[in-house]
Amino acid sequence: MTASPVLSRDADGVRTLTVDRPDKLNALDRNTLQALDQAFAAAAADPAVRVVVLTGSGAKAFVAGADIAEMNTLTAIEAREFSLLGQGLMRRIERMPKPVIAMVNGYALGGGLELAMACHLRIAADSARLGQPEVNLGLVPGFGGTQRLLRLAGRAAALELCLGGAPVDAARALQLGLVNRVVPVAELEAETMKLAAQLANAAPLALRGVLDAVVLGGECGMEEGLQFETAQFALLFASEDMREGTAAFLGKRKPQFRNR
């Protein structure tokens, strides 16, 4: 039986998913995209999982891109299906009801940057390099890169990365808004897991409400987004966790959230 290209590890409500193709710099072929899709579906359905951390195996790459050797053989029809497969995975991650943190430990290029941008938060090692180099292959990004770059970093940054095709270092990525935080590579895992633990101990229903309001509400106009936010706000007043959180605040104690 062939080993899965995605490793999974659980600890204290945090599930760490690792793309495990270090000999290919964790490149995304169809098998890996499907394995990631299944892994995220399983994480979403598991009530014991509060937060997902996504990273790549080895010291060099988060995900260095799509698998060019596989792409080279695709017909136009197959390429369309490959793009839709990747976009479906990114959409699943983006719409996860639980926070997803990308731990960017090295190269995040092409499909790798698209994968990181689909996550809700991104922490990068100071040695990481991020970019959309598809133009150098005679291509455009196919897993949502043009659209998420535009929304995350704005038109100028999207055009800079997609037209130029050159990667940027972690400091420039932070400046552009592609990542939330940059830390020394030796501290990357500890800092990421510290954030993951913080989120795992927060109120799950409130976290889901924030994700829905920002991700889904952000796809609407302002008025619709505000209505969506109000609906999320009011709905949480029916939860035990909201009563526990407010009671704990008034009682000056730590809340015990139960995801209900």
pLDDT digits (tens, 9 = 90+) for 8-32: 999 999 999 999 999 999 999 999 9
Catalytic annotation present for 134: yes
pLDDT score recorded for residue 201: 94
Q: Which of 70, 78, 81, 134 is catalytic?
A: 134
- Mean pLDDT value of segment 70-90: 95
Q: Which residue is listed with tokens 């954030």?
A: 195
In the predicted structure, residue 97 carries a pLDDT above the cut 60: yes
Catalytic annotation present for 78: no
pLDDT score recorded for residue 116: 98
SS3 16: strand
Tens of pLDDT, residue by residue over 117-176, are 999 999 999 999 999 999 999 999 999 999 999 999 999 999 999 999 999 999 999 999
Strand order in the sheet with 61-63: 61-63, 107-109, 129-131, 168-169
Beta-carbon contacts of residue 235 (< 8 Å; ≥ 6 apart): 209
Pairwise CA distance, residues 191 & 205, whole Å: 24
How many Cβ atoms are within 10 Å of 247's Cβ, its own excluded? Answer: 11
Pairwise CA distance, residues 9 & 230, whole Å: 36
Whole-prediction pTM: 0.94
* Closest alpha carbon to 192 in 19, 16, 57, 60: 16
In the predicted structure, residue 2 carries a pLDDT above the cut 80: no
Q: Which of 70, 78, 94, 114 is catalytic?
A: 114
In the predicted structure, residue 182 carries a pLDDT above the cut 70: yes
* Closest alpha carbon to 235 in 258, 214, 210: 210
In the predicted model, what is the mean pLDDT of the chain?
A: 94
Beta-carbon contacts of residue 220 (< 8 Å; ≥ 6 apart): 228
Cβ distance 168 to 130 under 8 Å?
yes
Helices 145-153, 155-164: inter-axial angle, 10-degree rounding: 140
Beta-carbon contacts of residue 60 (< 8 Å; ≥ 6 apart): 22, 25, 106, 107
For residue 153, give the H/E element and its range.
helix 145-153
> Could you give the domains of the chain?
6-200 (3.90.226.10), 204-250 (1.10.12)
Confidence band for 245, pLDDT divided at 50, 70 and 90: confident
